[in-house]
Chains A and B, each alone.
Chain A
């Protein structure tokens, strides 16, 4: 009897095309729990579309997508939204945080609008990330790096199956970028599959798996992962 857990993400032949043209031609991707993968590609290659598909914001026009074994193509829109809320954390470089909430409230927002119920979890995580003193700050008072780390905390606080990070270190100084990457790495170590979309080869090099997206087609860049290199 096979008792192996299904992969966190299994995408096969995933495709999407916009009415105006462009999109994603084909993406095959499997991420196990705890994996950390990077997707590299030039602008307009379909990275944002891939992220929106994996984040269950867009529905694919072809192919299949399973999240921990659940066939997302069989879900109603409301069920997809619920699955995204429960199982997926998304970090966006330029769409950061909700400006009308404080830092801890932004983190607690990952659970939905009943913020008070998740105050402790949010504050504890900010403490773990060394940002306890920022918990009550208005997000407009925070630096770009601090905001990005809070966005990571928001994505990680519910320990989702999958964390999608879009250019999480873009515009950050090396020290802050390293801190953000360490936060994402710790999420992977706690069992989340992490997929990072990046232009930065240093960031991609710090991941276990690397993919390249070119003209809408996703392909594997390196089969040997950094983790294996480290183990060797």
Chain B
């Protein structure tokens, strides 16, 4: 970088300073995306891991996938016998609907150790009883608050043939209500004990619960080990036994879906930032050098060599990219922090301000890429124009 760059960048409107606004916006967008994604991921991770996720392993049953062991009673018993395993809770999915008041139709699941429900009213016991249920505070227009603590009759489907069934009734005490924006298993879910959830699932399949659990098995199961250190070994044992097993902590840290897409989008964003910076450098450096060829000729006669002229342009590129990076990161971080509250509302999870700070890798990319890209582009763009001595070019045009 030449000291002349400080003058030309600051005072000459034809310098590479013109690339500043575009690069600032891109750096800010990248930083904001990184901050928002980090905030969301942190909140979800904390939510899942906070409920003991660090000591949990998830077993999945893929329907029709013969290589994966079904989660039948005997299989779950095997899992429970694996070294270090303290508890196995199977999740059976079915449905509950209104029998008396209201028109709701709720999905039912087993309340597993992985479900960290944000309870708003009532209390979830250490182990949910067979005749107890936890509901969302509001679902499908029905407010369950007045029913809290009461035993309510719910309807469920009992299959009587291949395409026929009747309604059966089960009475359950509503022991707690949770924030309905918490939708880890989808909207409007009723959480039951494992036995009750299995009863409903079996009824819908037209089977006795024991038969259903022995033959069909659970959709998924949560395995709890005694200590975090045992997770890896237990997972390996379960996988060797044919289970589809993965530590909850890994699953959370490699959050699929939305967070995976956000991560991909940011990687694309980094690529765009780099390419735009290089492209701007190529175009702007060539244009700027042509427009200022007379100035460069004067600098030549004042003692600057062509390498110094390149250093002037490089200096302008580094200053422009550097300022764009710093301002972009500052603005992007500010926007990301400002979005914490609305993002928290959307996810239904508390997000700390520190959660929404973009990761160091993304910050480094947003800080450095504008300057690096613009510098590379400037070297490419100015090469052709500076191939001939600016003094001779200017004299030829004068």
Contact = CB atoms under 8 A, between A and B. Distances in A.
A74 interface: no
A230 B75 CA distance: 120
B302 A110 contact: yes
B307 A57 contact: no
A101 B7 CA distance: 8
A86 B302 CA distance: 9
B298 interface: yes
A85 to B, nearest CB: 2
A100 B7 contact: yes
B395 to A, nearest CB: 5
B395 A81 contact: no
Contacts of A77: 305
Interface string B283-302: 00000000000110111111
A81 B398 contact: no
B250 interface: no
Contacts of B12: 99-100
Interface stretch (A90-98, A187-195, A220-228): A90-98
B394 interface: yes
Nearest to B12: A100
A81 B299 CA distance: 11
A112 B391 CA distance: 17
Contact of A114 (B3, B11, B307, B389): B3
B398 A78 contact: no
Contact of A100 (B11, B294, B305, B389): B11
Given A94-B398, A100-B7, A113-B4, A52 B391 contact: yes
B308 interface: yes
Contact of B303 (A52, A84, A96, A115): A84
A98 B298 contact: yes
Given A92-B301, A110-B302, A98 B391 contact: no
B131 interface: no
A121 interface: no
Interface in B373-398: 389, 391-392, 394-395, 398
Contact of B297 (A95, A99, A114): A95
Nearest to A115: B7
Contacts of B295: 98-99
Interface string B1-39: 011101110011000000000000000000000000000
A142 interface: no
A195 to B, nearest CB: 14
Contacts of B3: 112-114
A130 B50 CA distance: 81
B302 A95 contact: no
A100 B8 contact: yes
Contacts of B305: 77-78, 80-81
A84 to B, nearest CB: 5
A57 B389 contact: yes
Contact of B302 (A48, A78, A85): A85
A221 B118 CA distance: 102
A48 B301 CA distance: 13
Contacts of B307: 78
B304 interface: yes
B2 A113 contact: yes
A156 interface: no
Nearest to B295: A98
A84 B305 CA distance: 10
A162 interface: no
A55 interface: yes
B395 A48 contact: yes
A112 B303 contact: yes
A197 to B, nearest CB: 12
A19 B333 CA distance: 56
Contacts of A113: 2-4, 6-7
B133 to A, nearest CB: 76
A110 B391 CA distance: 16
B7 A95 contact: no
Interface in A65-110: 77-78, 80-82, 84-86, 90, 92, 94-101, 109-110
B315 to A, nearest CB: 10
The winner among A97, A112, A154 for most chain B CB atoms within 10 A is: A112
A213 B392 CA distance: 19
Interface in A130-175: 154
A109 B302 contact: yes
A81 B301 contact: no
Contacts of B2: 113
A51 to B, nearest CB: 9
Given A78-B305, A90-B301, A110-B302, A95 B8 contact: no
A98 B14 CA distance: 13
A52 B300 CA distance: 10
Interface of A: 48, 52, 55, 57-58, 77-78, 80-82, 84-86, 90, 92, 94-101, 109-110, 112-115, 154
29 contacts: A48-B395, A55-B301, A57-B300, A57-B389, A57-B391, A58-B389, A77-B305, A80-B305, A81-B303, A81-B305, A85-B302, A85-B303, A90-B301, A92-B297, A92-B301, A94-B398, A95-B298, A95-B395, A95-B398, A96-B298, A99-B12, A100-B12, A101-B7, A101-B11, A109-B302, A112-B302, A113-B3, A114-B3, A115-B7
Given A48-B395, A101-B11, A112-B303, 5 more contacts: A78-B307, A85-B303, A95-B294, A95-B297, A113-B7
